[in-house]
Chain A
Amino acid sequence: MSDTDALIAQLAERLEPVRRLRKPWLRAALWSAFATALIALLVALRGFRADIGECMRDPAFLVPLAGAWLTGATAALAAFEVSLPDRSRLWLLLPLPAVALWVVGFAAGCLADWIAIPEGAPVAEESVRCLTTILLATAGLLVVLVPMLRKVRTLRPAATAWIGILAVAGFADTAHLLIHPVEASLLVLVINLVPAAAIVLLGGLAGRRMMAA
């Protein structure tokens, strides 16, 4: 009996039934529902931004808001799909249109705020509150998403980590846009993507271990 035959016999001998993963779209939908509920909870705790009524009629607000939420949902679906070995890497492109909506929206917002905020305006306190909202949302979303993705034991840990982080950033910014008037969408991306880049790029060490088989 060759080593390989012996290995097959050993694997068959200690075979245990496994629970199949749910469909990727279902897991993505569940996580997106959780993310939306978390956003609602944060809004309930902190309240809508003061100018929400006005914002809801303003396309310059609605476009990045929809873009951020859609980025979260599509990136989540892409993460669950691409984490499986037999799915195409093209799934990684799925969030691109939503990201475009989001980024174009907040880029315009940044410019408008840069012009609008008068010198010496009391934005520091609001910025701290804004940062804590973003961090709370990010932490809450990660706590649920990471174990869900880890369960897959993916063969593509880096791609899965990147796209998963994009999903977290999208939903975290949705919460931020609804709660805070301070323009910080870029900050949300930086908060999420810089650690992700550090994790994934640092030899793929933690990122790979966190997600890998």
Chain B
Amino acid sequence: MALSQAGDAKAYRLLLGGVTPYLRALAHRFGLVGSDIEDAVQDALLTLHSIRHTYDPSRPFAPWLVAVARHRMLDYRRRRVRQFGRETELTDFHETFAAPEANPPERAGEGAKLHAAIAELPAGQRQAVELLRLQEMSLKEASAKSGQSETALKVAMHRAVKRLRILLGEE
């Protein structure tokens, strides 16, 4: 650390690399898991870097490192706990719409009916539906893949939707 304070980059790299496993173990001991461990380790490394001038080479390095790391880990854990308190993880349920009529339960066989209707479409229209809707390609990508112009794809898609509505009995 004393060499690092003098600007020796090689010694500094060795030092930081050497203390990282210890920081990971400490983060684990603080109950952090997954990506939080690496985040907390990086947080501790950044703090160590920004206050490296406070280390006194006449004193042992370990207590200084432990104090900085523990402080940062505690801080990180506190922050995470606070964040979790305000956060709710999104589930499929949250991604649906709030209005009940927007979320009708899927009727049995509906998907199969749609696939059968798509299969009945003329080749050009079927290809437009497959590329633009089922594979979610952009007009440009679909055009490159199919060799059809973007305008032709748009027209085909429009006609396909119209025809599907008729086939599915919506019109």
- Name A's B-contacting residues (CB within 8 A): 2-5, 7-9, 11-13, 15-21, 23, 84-86, 152-153, 155, 213
* Cα distance A84–B13 in the bound complex, in angstroms: 23
Indicate if the CB atoms of A3 and B42 lie closer than 8 Å: yes
Indicate if the CB atoms of A213 and B50 lie closer than 8 Å: yes
* Cα distance A11–B4 in the bound complex, in angstroms: 11
Q: Which of B7, B46, B49 gathers the greatest number of chain A CB atoms within 10 Å?
A: B49
Residue in contact with A16 in the complex, picked from B7, B10, B56, CB distance below 8 Å: B7
B102 at the interface (CB under 8 A from A): no
List residues of chain A with CB within 8 A of the CB of B138.
none
Residue in contact with A20 in the complex, picked from B41, B56, B66, CB distance below 8 Å: B56
List residues of chain A with CB within 8 A of the CB of B50.
153, 213
Indicate if the CB atoms of A2 and B71 lie closer than 8 Å: no
B42: min CB distance to chain A, Å: 5
* Cα distance A23–B57 in the bound complex, in angstroms: 11
- What string of 1s and 0s marks CB contacts (under 8 Å) between B71-86 and chain A? 1100000000000000
Main secondary structure of the interface of B (DSSP, over half): helix
Indicate if the CB atoms of A84 and B54 lie closer than 8 Å: yes
A100: min CB distance to chain B, Å: 30
Residue in contact with B54 in the complex, picked from A4, A5, A7, A85, CB distance below 8 Å: A85
- Name B's A-contacting residues (CB within 8 A): 4-10, 12-13, 16-17, 20, 38, 41-42, 45-47, 49-57, 59, 63-64, 66-68, 71-72
Indicate if the CB atoms of B42 and A15 lie closer than 8 Å: no
Indicate if the CB atoms of A15 and B12 lie closer than 8 Å: yes
* Cα distance A16–B10 in the bound complex, in angstroms: 12
Indicate if the CB atoms of B45 and A213 lie closer than 8 Å: no
List residues of chain B with CB within 8 A of the CB of A18.
5, 52-53
Indicate if the CB atoms of A155 and B4 lie closer than 8 Å: no
Residue in contact with B9 in the complex, picked from A4, A12, A152, CB distance below 8 Å: A12
B73: min CB distance to chain A, Å: 12
List residues of chain A with CB within 8 A of the CB of B53.
18-21
* Cα distance A20–B4 in the bound complex, in angstroms: 11
